[in-house]
A and B are shown apart, each in its own frame.
Chain A
Amino acid sequence: QKEVEQDPGPLSVPEGAIVSLNCTYSNSAFQYFMWYRQYSRKGPELLMYTYSSGNKEDGRFTAQVDKSSKYISLFIRDSQPSDSATYLCAMSSGNTGKLIFGQGTTLQVKP
């Protein structure tokens, strides 16, 4: 079993929909939680960074961390075709800089 599980999708939604992406993990030492967006043939780009449990909002994006359930989520409001990409969750214990990634979820937002 992988340390971080993420449904690969693909997920297809109409423009303007609310998108919910999530990951589960098994290592209780993880304290830092990130969401990266990766366009085709590009490197991952950091979207959200959260320490420990709680919510964080940035524009149309909201990240949630529930350490008790070992579950993290990313919500995208008013989704746009430009949001079409692969979304990767990543985690770190903070003991080293090593990031552990999920498989990535492919999202398509249709106009």
Chain B
Amino acid sequence: GAGVSQSPRYKVAKRGQDVALRCDPISGHVSLFWYQQALGQGPEFLTYFQNEAQLDKSGLPSDRFFAERPEGSVSTLKIQRTQQEDSAVYLCASSSTSGNADTQYFGPGTRLTVL
């Protein structure tokens, strides 16, 4: 079946521009996670949704980062006034239940480069 998809796969933004990154989780998956992966590093947690509710946003690095999942399926991560330090791969993952130890399936990521 289809896995987690993300778009765009690559995004180049000029410093100060706003960007929106999309995640399509596996159909029916309740939980959705966003992670940020800097070059040569492991993924770092940004935020977590259970259906449409954002239950944990403790990893968002600043108020320039905003995520939503209004209908409990597709999610968008928005970054306002991008900075060079925002350059990274943004990974989305979904899991089938609200169980906190459930397996997370990752998408291919969106590689954001801020010039």
Chain A positions within 8 Å of B, measured between CB atoms, are 4, 6, 8, 31-32, 36, 41-46, 49, 51, 88, 90, 92, 94-104
Query: Shortest Cβ distance from B47 into chain A, in angstroms?
Result: 9
Q: A46 vs B104: C-alpha distance in the bound complex, in angstroms?
A: 8
Known contacts A43-B91, A102-B42, A103-B42; decide if A49 and B104 are in contact (CB<8 Å).
Answer: no
Determine whether the beta carbon of B100 is less than 8 Å from that of A94: yes
Contact partner of A97 (CB less than 8 A), chosen from B4, B48, B106, B108, is B48
Q: Does B95 contact A (CB under 8 A)?
A: yes
Among B59, B109, B111, the one with the most A-chain Cβ atoms within 10 Å of its Cβ is: B109
Known contacts A43-B108, A97-B48; decide if A88 and B56 are in contact (CB<8 Å).
Answer: no
Determine whether the beta carbon of A101 is less than 8 Å from that of B43: yes
Q: A97 vs B59: C-alpha distance in the bound complex, in angstroms?
A: 13
Contacts of A99 in B (CB 8 A): 33, 35, 43, 45, 104
Determine whether the beta carbon of A98 is less than 8 Å from that of B45: yes
Known contacts A6-B42, A103-B41; decide if A97 and B103 are in contact (CB<8 Å).
Answer: no
5 A-B pairs besides A43-B93, A44-B106, A98-B33 with CB distance below 8 A are A96-B56, A97-B99, A98-B48, A98-B59, A99-B43
Chain B positions within 8 Å of A, measured between CB atoms, are 4, 31, 33, 35, 40-45, 48, 55-56, 59, 91, 93, 95, 99-109, 111
Closest 3 CB pairs of A and B: A101-B42, A43-B106, A98-B45
Known contacts A43-B91, A43-B109, A97-B33; decide if A88 and B43 are in contact (CB<8 Å).
Answer: yes
Q: A50 vs B48: C-alpha distance in the bound complex, in angstroms?
A: 22
Residue of B nearest to A100 (CB): B45
Contact partner of A43 (CB less than 8 A), chosen from B40, B48, B55, B107, is B107
Q: A6 vs B44: C-alpha distance in the bound complex, in angstroms?
A: 14
Determine whether the beta carbon of A96 is less than 8 Å from that of B106: no
Contacts of A88 in B (CB 8 A): 42-43
Query: Shortest Cβ distance from B11 into chain A, in angstroms?
Result: 14
Residue of B nearest to A32 (CB): B101
Determine whether the beta carbon of A96 is less than 8 Å from that of B42: no
Among B33, B91, B100, the one with the most A-chain Cβ atoms within 10 Å of its Cβ is: B100
